[in-house]
Structure 1
Amino acid sequence: MRWAVADGWTITRRDLAHWANQPGQILAGLLFPVMIVLMFGYLFGGGMTVPGGGDYREFLMPGMFALTMVFGLETTFAAVSADAARGVTDRFRSLPMASSAVVTGRAAADLLNSALTLAVLVGCGLAVGWRAEAGPGRAALAVGLVLLLRFALLWLGIWLGLVVGNPEALVAVQILVWPVGFLSSALVSPATMPGWLGAIAEWNPLSATAAAARELFGNPGWGGDSWAAQHAVTLAVAWPLLITAVFFPLSIRAFRRLGG
């Protein structure tokens, strides 16, 4: 275990060094969610109605925190598939290192990147009038749930990157991620959707995290009387744990089977 942690940290430092040498990529990743916040908060926000009343930007920000974690899956997929296509991953497999180090190192680096993105989004939210109304303790729990969702989706992105191994397939991943991201309560209430579509949106893992974050931050929520709406915090923990339990071992297995 000690060597696995040490090897994983070496891979993490390698990924962080790449970002330090290519800061433009990080800046672009930080600016994109800020632009989404400004677009929905100011261009479309005037036409949005929050169920039960309340400011739309306060409704929007917890949803954007969660939505940005989902969009991060594309970054993970692109990095992992690029390493696989260039033979970097095969080189790692030939070295005397823990087989889990490549995937855990990648996960740690991307989680640090997501924490930075979340910090920038929080600053953007404060600038546009969003506030955490329920106190710092509950706000910290909300941030933890948002990062837990990102941690779970890391393993899905790593697994897809290892299995596909083709960076050009990023478009296909975007086709998967964007509908899942918008078919949720991140930006609008599921009550505004057709009944069957709203039910799917309510059970979306992203919706659970967004709704739980709104509850913990003390921001306006979309309400609802379904089980998913009444137990958002429970689902915000259960969904990431389930996703991790499925895709973490699949990621390790996919890495071990490369070139086999």
Structure 2
Amino acid sequence: MSTVTAADTAPVSPPAAPNARAALGPLTARSVRSCLRTPSLLLSPLLTSAFFMIIYEGQLSSAVAATAPGGRYIDVVLPLCLLTTAFTGGATAGQLLVRDIGSGYHARLWLTPVSRWALVTAPVLAGMAVLTVQAATLTGLGLLLGLNPVSGAPALIALTGATVLLGTGFLLLAAAVGLHTGNSSAVGSVTLVFFPLSFFTATFVPRDQLGGWMARAADINPLTPPLDAMRSLLASPWNEQNLLPGTLVALAILVAGAAAAHLALTRRTRTGV
């Protein structure tokens, strides 16, 4: 006769959910590897911005350098190219999510006890890493084209950080669209919304050189304060008046992106699709 012990009759506890941070590391590493295996995510925004920076600086510098602070047109055009990199590269997180949704990998992860936010945070962190490399590379190219910021190396670091901060908001927006639609074309629409806006601000000249209806358009354009703040990092000693409006806009985009990602994640959790 077998003996039944207390251990045999004790209820079996379900496996504990893995720590969210423990799952986040491998998921982020996987997203980074996906970026490295996909040149369009890593190189396309970088090469596009580098191409336009070289063309703009080469063709327009002699004509408008006199209007640029310090007479260096690269101080005007580099922040513009970093701004466009922020929202074009910001599609990275959404494209990674769309790829995982289409392959069924995302659905398999959904059945595990991994934190739902980790599934979104991982591609966003990978996108931030990509943006950091892209911004640093473009800044290095700017140095080769004559960039010489008043504040030196701290300005270059701050400029890269500003690009990543602004880009993180776009990464979250793209992630929200990817979660909601599962469609790569819809994710690309995030870039299409903001790209035309970049031409209705002080694109090729400092803000104080604009006039007429273009000046009024730049005044209401949400991309104008970040662009002005990034240019002020290079052209003048830092002060709160120049940097605060752009910082607030970047934070507003970040909060809006986080809210949109939360809503998309909540919808997918409820519907399971």
Instruction: Give me the TM-score of the superposition, normalised by structure 1.
Output: 0.83
Specify the alignment match of 1:208 in structure 2.
225
Aligned positions of 1:165-180 closer than 5 A: 165-170=182-187, 172-180=189-197
2:137 partner amino acid: V
- The whole-number CA distance in structure 1 between the counterparts of 2:87 and 2:38 is 23
Q: Does 1:90 align with 2:107?
A: yes
Give the Å deviation of 1:11.
Answer: 1.6
Q: Rg: which structure is higher?
A: 2
CA separation of 1:143 and 1:29: change in aligned 2, threshold 3 A: closer
User: Corresponding residue for 1:232?
Assistant: 242
Counterpart residue number, 1:66: 83
Would the aligned equivalents of 2:75 and 2:234 in 1 still touch at CA under 8 Å?
A: no
Runs of 4+ in 1 over 6 A off after TM superposition: none
Counterpart of 2:264 in structure 1 is 254
TM-score by length of 2: 0.79
Counterpart amino acid of residue 14 in structure 1: R
CA distance in 2 between counterparts of 1:86 and 1:194 reads: 51
2:78–2:142 Cα contact (<8 Å) kept: yes
**Structure 1: where are the runs of 5+ without partners?**
221-229
Match of 1:242 in 2: 252
Over the aligned positions, Cα root-mean-square deviation in angstroms equals: 2.8
The 1:175–1:141 alpha-carbon spacing in structure 2 relative to 1, beyond 3 Å, is closer
Larger CA deviation: 143-152 vs 95-104: 143-152
Q: Which amino acid aligns with 2:259?
A: P
1:144, distance to aligned residue in structure 2 (A): 2.2
* Stretch of structure 1 that moved more, 68-77 or 9-18: 68-77
> Which of the residues 47, 54, 64 maps onto 1:38?
54
Question: Hey, what's the Cα distance between the residues in 2 that align with 1:19 and 1:251?
Answer: 21
Change in Cα spacing, 1:72 to 1:203, as seen in structure 2 (3 Å) is farther
Q: Deviations over 1:112-156 (max 9, x none)?
A: 000000111011101111122223334433332222111222111
Aligned-residue identity in percent: 23
Larger relative contact order (Cα-Cα within 8 Å, sequence gap ≥ 6): 1
Contact 1:8–1:100 (Cα < 8 Å) also in 2:
no
Q: Deviation per CA, 1:185-204: give whole Å up to 9, x if none.
A: 34334456564442332343
Give the stretch that moved more between structures: 151-160 or 178-187.
178-187
Letter in 2 for 1:100: W
Distance 1:9 1:231 in 2: 39
Decide whether aligned partners of structure 1 residues 171 and 72 sit closer, same or farther in structure 2, where only a CA change above 3 A counts. Answer: closer
Instruction: Determine the C-alpha separation between the residues in 2 that align with 1:71 and 1:24.
Output: 11
Please give the alpha-carbon distance, in whole angstroms, between the structure 1 residues aligned to 2:36 and 2:137.
18
Deviates more, 1:240-249 or 1:107-116: 240-249
User: How far apart in 1 are the matches of 2:197 and 2:97?
Assistant: 21
Structure 1 residue 257 displacement after superposition = 2.0
Shift of residue 88, structure 1, vs aligned partner: 3.0
Distance in 2, matches of 1:92 and 1:44, equals 51
Name structure 2 gaps, 5 residues minimum. Answer: 1-17
| Deviates most, 18-27 or 161-170 | 18-27
Match 1:81 to one of 92, 98, 101: 98
